[in-house]
Structure 1
Amino acid sequence: MELKQLKYFAAVCRLGSVTRAAESCHIAQPAISVAIQNLESELGVQLFERSHKKISVTSSGRVFLRRVEDILARTDDAIREMEDHRASQRGVIRVGITPMIGAVFFPEIVSRFREEHPLLELNVIEEGALSIGTLLDKGELDVGVVVVAEKQPQLEMSPITRSEIYVCLSAEHPLAAQRRIAFPRLADEPFILFSEDTLSRRIILEECARHGISPHIVFSSNQITTIISLIERGVGISFLLEPLVRDHPKIVSRRLAKPLYLEAGMVWNPRRYLSNATRTFIEAIRRYTLDATGAG
């Protein structure tokens, strides 16, 4: 018994005609007639009543049809599942990342994901969170890995991690001797911040506003190496995650007296189609997050 015989049988039952079934299956009419005759011979029952002008299903044929429809439905499901699986193994995922996320968290994410999914390509661009939100809205990105300051109603979000923001200063800076630094003590300091489309910059400016500080911003950039180099040279102070400056002996990082935190998460546009490859990426990052926290 062959799968194509079952398809031909179901088509004749559905259309009530061998001729129309042949047209539907794109084969010659004699091929369907022979296939059904062979099927009846193998089963040892008559599936159709035949007359000069019409063909009708026998009682045995109706019983068999129920089984055949179930078999064909399961076969179609299996084929679609394998197509989805194949698609999820290949493809390009367009990912937007913010500067600090890209420097601190993303390398480990990429390394682990590449090991598990070597045929998937990550096309990564580095932008501020606000720009990434715009690109997601336009469908120019599939997913963003960003600093999340607040719930964005147009985007779905899945949290990744929560990290503390440190004040970063040159090793010779007078405040470097402090274990913790109260934010008001930074009022007269020159600030080196990320660019205007970043939420990490907004977090710092909102903290300035809470303390009535008008920040003196001397430099803005999304380039981590540039910011670190300027801090080393005493051009100004900045606000980074401690791992970024951990291995730079000319820079010290100090906690704020009242800590500030950076929330990182994945965001995507629920109104846009998510490819199987993108869904694979999202689920993988969720799993990595659970592994890292020991949850689940």
Structure 2
Amino acid sequence: MKFSLRQLSYVRAAARHRSIATAAKQLSISQSSIWAAIDSFESSFSIRLFVRQPSKGLVLTPTGKTLLERIEYLLQQAETLDAELLGISAQVRGELHIGCFAPIAPLTLPSILQGMTVRYPDLRIQVLEGDLPFVNSLLDAGTVDVILSYDLGLPSGVLFEKLGQARPHAIFASDHPLASQDRISLRDLGSEPMILLDLPESRTYFDLLFKIAEMSPNIIYRTGSYETVRSFVSAGLGFSILNLRPQIDHAYTGKQVACVPFAEALPMPSIGVGLRPNDYPSPALKEFVRECRRFFTPERCNRLFVT
């Protein structure tokens, strides 16, 4: 073999920083060691990785750009293998950045992350919540490593693993005349006052349901808060359509709500985890995905989704 992993790591650092001096400082080695690694690699394979431009520093050649992708992948594989040889408890460490659709987070993440924080004390987890476009943009920009969300409006190429089907249902105050129904048709709710969960993508999804039912909803309140929807419903201000059911039937008002499934088959989003294409998942990310799979058991889905 004409190169070493250490040599490749020097080349990668130089490409990332576009500066020999910065790469040497980051690796705590001499600049001459970086130059030697680059010169040795280039001469061994008769190729040019960089063009030295005084105004721009190191600039990758087309060949260099292609090889850098292979070098990145090879070093990631080597680093992961090194971590795996240390054992699972040693490898799940560092940082994990999670994006989550806000209504999903309180119903899922506490249980998913509870065990991880106990088993892996050296793992630091950051959770960012928001509406669907915001969460999708976090993944697309590389701000988070993974998202737990719906498969609505996903960026192109995202690898999405479905873990459950979030069937829509109607929600009423517990004393509403329709609250005791086993099932109800969406078409029967056209005259009922409605509280809309008014979030991007969510709004588009609900509009689709109304078009399928050939109805115009009587929307009297709009809110971007899941719990505000439930509280308004519990106070008898109207019904709503949601896709998730909390473990308790009480809203923040202290009053109860009732969830009633729809009689007709309606489109339903999938809930799952989304990853960027071409990313090599870290051990911490792999463990998070495994925990998500463990969470979404058939029994849990039967409680979380109204069927």
Considering the TM-score relative to the shorter chain, is it more than 0.5? yes
Cα pair distance change 1:85/1:116, threshold 3 Å: closer
Residue type of the partner of 2:277? Answer: P
Which amino acid in the other structure matches residue 257 of structure 1?
A
Residue aligning to 2:171: 168
TM-score scaled by structure 1? 0.62
1:113 Cα deviation after fit: 2.7
2:228 aligns with one of 200, 223, 226: 226
Residues 194/122 of structure 1: CA separation in 2 closer, same or farther (3 Å cut): farther
Aligned to 1:127: 130
Distance 1:90 1:157, change over 3 A: same
| 8 Å Cα contact 1:84-1:276 kept in structure 2 | no
- How many angstroms apart in 2 are the aligned matches of 1:245 and 1:287? 18
Q: Please give the alpha-carbon distance, in whole angstroms, between the structure 2 residues aligned to 1:80 and 1:180.
A: 52
Q: CA deviation at 1:156?
A: 0.6
* Partner Cα separation in structure 2 for residue 94 and residue 217 of structure 1: 37
2:191 matched to 1:191?
A: no
Q: In structure 2, give the amino acid aligned to 1:216.
A: N
Q: Which AA in structure 1 matches 2:123?
A: L
More helix by percentage: 1
Compute the displacement of 1:291 (Å): 9.2
- Residue matched to 1:113: 116
CA contact (8 A) 1:183 1:256 kept: yes
Residue aligning to 1:285: 292
How is 1:1-296 mapped onto 2 (pairs within 5 angstroms)? 79=82, 81-82=84-85, 88-149=91-152, 153-199=156-202, 201-241=203-243, 243-244=245-246, 246-248=248-250, 250-260=256-266, 261-272=268-279, 274-289=281-296
On the 8 A contact 1:191/1:238 being kept in 2, the answer is: yes
Counterpart Cα distance in 1 of 2:168 and 2:292: 23
SS in 1 for 2:286: helix
2:221 partner amino acid: F
Amino acid at match of 2:199: E
What is the alpha-carbon distance in structure 1 between the residues aligned to residue 79 and residue 175 of structure 2?
69
Distance 1:108 1:259 in 2: 30
**Deviation of 1:123 (Å):** 1.0
TM-fit CA distance, 1:151: 7.1
What is the CA distance between 1:152 and its match in structure 2?
Answer: 5.5
Contact 1:161 1:264 in 2 (8 A): yes
TM-fit CA distance, 1:120: 1.6
Q: In 1, distance between residues paired with 2:271 and 2:187? A: 26
| Cα displacement (A) at 1:251 | 1.1
- Pair 1:251–1:79, CA change in 2 (3 A): closer
- Letter in structure 2 aligned against 1:223: S
CA distance in 2, matches of 1:291, 1:245: 15
Return the letter of the residue paired with 1:237. F
Q: Which amino acid aligns with 2:121?
A: P
- Total equivalences in the alignment: 220
1:288/1:218 Cα in 2 relative to 1: closer, same or farther (>3 Å)?
same
Q: Distance between the aligned counterparts of 1:244 and 1:270, measured in 2?
A: 32
Q: Cα gap change, 1:209/1:245 in structure 2, threshold over 3 Å: closer, same or farther?
A: farther
| Cα-Cα RMSD | 3.4
CA contact (8 A) 1:173 1:234 kept: yes
Structure 2: stretches of 5+ with no match in the other structure:
1-31, 34-77, 301-307
What is the distance in 2 between the residues matched to 1:182 and 1:214?
14
Taking the aligned partners of 1:264 and 1:239, their CA distance within structure 2 comes to 17
**Identical-residue share of aligned pairs (%):** 24
What is the rounded CA distance, in whole Å, between the counterparts of 2:285 and 2:206 in structure 1?
A: 32
Stretch deviating more after TM superposition (205-214 or 246-255): 246-255
